[in-house]
């Protein structure tokens, strides 16, 4: 009974979106299961899901691989519960961006479920959605569209239009339409998924944040920055409560929230978002995000006309790049251009000239060279034209024949 209680507590925590709590209960459940291999595999499967939500993919992969081995041995390789683990492991590989390893597992899981459960089954629909996730990322648009259409129709027929298991399908359908720039349809699917999740899970569940993120993404693409900001802020509040600080869900919201603030000239809020992003990136050792934060924070100070602060911050950012031996031309040029603009605004033209990015200097040299060449050509053509006119006049005068003069020319 102890295993049963621990496992059930872990499942309940998973359903609430409290993934760290689920991890603790399920680790204890695995240990408590002892020699009962069926129970060990059951708890390992759920533990793998908890790790996946927390984006601890190596642990998720290890738990699911172990669960697969046990279930294959205990139940046989051709079993619906084995197919369930295969499908989940394929998604973990997908999230790790191991796409070549994910595809065969996702296809195998779908085919096994069709064979074992029949063509029309709710688990078959789930596998279709899993495979469609891979297809969408790999730009297999037609296959993704077909899988999602079939899965949604099957789910609606078997469970009705408002069951919680439709929400992932509707969410992915929204992303699919978004990628095709069909924003009206994308928003319709995303709002339907949001309504289902809020009704079934409450308004503060991590899955609700997923729907909010998609809606914000759609609004941002249409330059409705205020609408996007509202959805992103709500998604961020939920994710900060349930997810680790360096979770990609939090990071991606901060990036886009910074854009929303910046485009609305809400510079203090933009600064706060990018400052938080920088802190997460430094702890996680995420250099690209750290560089992005430095670039944006420099330009925010410039836009706010905090020129001395901009100068100090940007110089320090360039120094940090040298200290950390970061070679990134885009960031270097962006920071130097910001610093150049800062010096120009302060009318410190000597420092401005010394700071101008190499790319801008090269562009300037090319433009100057082109301008000089153009002016020389104009002058040469003008001199030649004057010379020709003089020759024509002299030849006409000497020979009394304008046509002959043209021949000489």
What pLDDT, in 10s, does the model give residues 250-273?
A: 999 999 999 999 999 999 999 999
Please check whether residue 32 lies inside any domain of the structure. yes
Contact 144, 135 (CB under 8 A): yes
Please check whether residue 17 lies inside any domain of the structure. yes
Backbone angles phi, psi at 290, to 5 degrees: -65, -45
Q: Give the confidence band of 372 by pLDDT, cuts at 50, 70, 90.
A: low
Average pLDDT over residues 388-406: 36
For 87-132, the pLDDT digits (tens) are 999 999 999 999 999 999 999 999 999 999 999 999 999 999 999 9
DSSP state of 34: T
Q: Is the pLDDT of residue 245 over 60?
A: yes
For 12-31, the pLDDT digits (tens) are 999 999 999 999 999 999 99
Structural domain boundaries enclosing 2: 1-76
Q: Give the confidence band of 236 by pLDDT, cuts at 50, 70, 90.
A: very high
Please check whether residue 356 lies inside any domain of the structure. no
Q: Is the pLDDT of residue 368 over 60?
A: no
* Helical spans, DSSP H, in 54-182: 57-75, 80-95, 99-117, 122-137, 141-159, 167-179
Please check whether residue 289 lies inside any domain of the structure. no
Domain count, the chain: 1
Instruction: Report how far residue 217's alpha carbon sits from residue 29's, in angstroms, rounded to the nearest whole number.
Output: 39
Q: Is the pLDDT of residue 364 over 80?
A: no
For 183-198, the pLDDT digits (tens) are 999 999 999 999 999 9
Q: What is the pTM of this model?
A: 0.84
Contact 351, 311 (CB under 8 A): no
pLDDT of residue 402: 27
Please check whether residue 41 lies inside any domain of the structure. yes
Please check whether residue 227 lies inside any domain of the structure. no
Q: Is the pLDDT of residue 374 over 80?
A: no
Please check whether residue 281 lies inside any domain of the structure. no
pLDDT of residue 355: 86
Instruction: Report how far residue 47's alpha carbon sits from residue 53's, in angstroms, rounded to the nearest whole number.
Output: 10
Please check whether residue 291 lies inside any domain of the structure. no
Instruction: Report how far residue 402's alpha carbon sits from residue 409's, in angstroms, rounded to the nearest whole number.
Output: 11
For 327-354, the pLDDT digits (tens) are 999 999 999 999 999 999 999 988 988 8
Instruction: Report how far residue 88's alpha carbon sits from residue 44's, in angstroms, rounded to the nearest whole number.
Output: 12
At 7, which CATH number? 1.25.40.10
Average pLDDT over residues 365-385: 55
Q: Is the pLDDT of residue 224 over 90?
A: yes
Q: What DSSP string describes 237-290?
A: HHHHHHS-TT-HHHHHHHHHHHHHHHHTT-HHHHHHHHHHHHHHHHHHT-HHHH
């Amino acid at each position: 009974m102890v295993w049963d209680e621990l496992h059930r507590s872990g499942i309940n925590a998973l359903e609430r979106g409290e993934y760290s709590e689920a991890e603790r209960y399920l680790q204890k459940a695995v240990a408590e299961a002892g020699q009962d291999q069926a129970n060990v595999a059951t708890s390992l499967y759920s533990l793998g899901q908890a790790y996946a939500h927390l984006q601890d993919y190596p642990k998720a992969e290890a738990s699911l691989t172990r669960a697969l081995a046990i279930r294959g041995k205990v139940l046989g390789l051709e079993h619906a519960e084995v197919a369930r683990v295969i499908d989940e492991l394929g998604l973990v590989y997908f999230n790790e961006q191991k796409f070549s390893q994910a595809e065969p597992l996702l296809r195998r899981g779908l085919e096994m479920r069709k064979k074992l459960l029949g063509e029309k089954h709710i688990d078959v629909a789930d596998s279709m959605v899993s495979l469609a996730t891979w297809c969408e990322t790999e730009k297999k648009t037609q296959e993704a569209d077909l899988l999602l259409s079939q899965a949604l129709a099957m789910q609606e027929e078997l469970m009705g239009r408002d069951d919680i298991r439709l929400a992932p399908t509707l969410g992915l359908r929204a992303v699919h339409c978004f990628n095709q720039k069909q924003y009206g349809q994308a928003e319709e699917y995303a709002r339907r998924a949001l309504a289902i999740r809020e009704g079934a899970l409450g308004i503060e569940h991590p899955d609700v944040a997923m729907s909010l993120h998609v809606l914000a993404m759609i609004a941002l693409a249409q330059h409705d920055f205020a609408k996007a900001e509202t959805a992103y802020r709500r998604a961020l509040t939920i994710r900060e409560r349930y997810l680790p600080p360096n979770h990609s869900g939090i990071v991606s919201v901060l990036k886009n929230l910074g854009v929303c603030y910046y485009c609305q000239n809400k510079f203090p809020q933009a600064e706060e978002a990018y400052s938080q992003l920088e802190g997460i990136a430094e702890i996680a050792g995420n250099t690209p995000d750290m560089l992005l934060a430095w670039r944006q924070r420099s330009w925010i100070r410039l836009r706010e006309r905090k020129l001395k602060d901009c100068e100090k911050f940007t110089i320090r950012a360039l120094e940090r790049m040298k200290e950390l031996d970061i070679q990134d031309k885009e960031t270097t040029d962006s920071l130097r251009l910001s610093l150049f603009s800062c010096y120009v605004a302060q009318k410190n033209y000597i420092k401005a000239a010394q700071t101008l990015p190499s790319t801008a200097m090269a562009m300037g040299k090319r433009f100057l060279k082109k301008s000089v060449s153009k002016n020389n050509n104009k002058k040469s053509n003008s001199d030649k034209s004057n010379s020709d006119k003089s020759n024509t006049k002299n030849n006409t005068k000497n020979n009394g024949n304008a046509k002959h003069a043209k021949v000489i020319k």
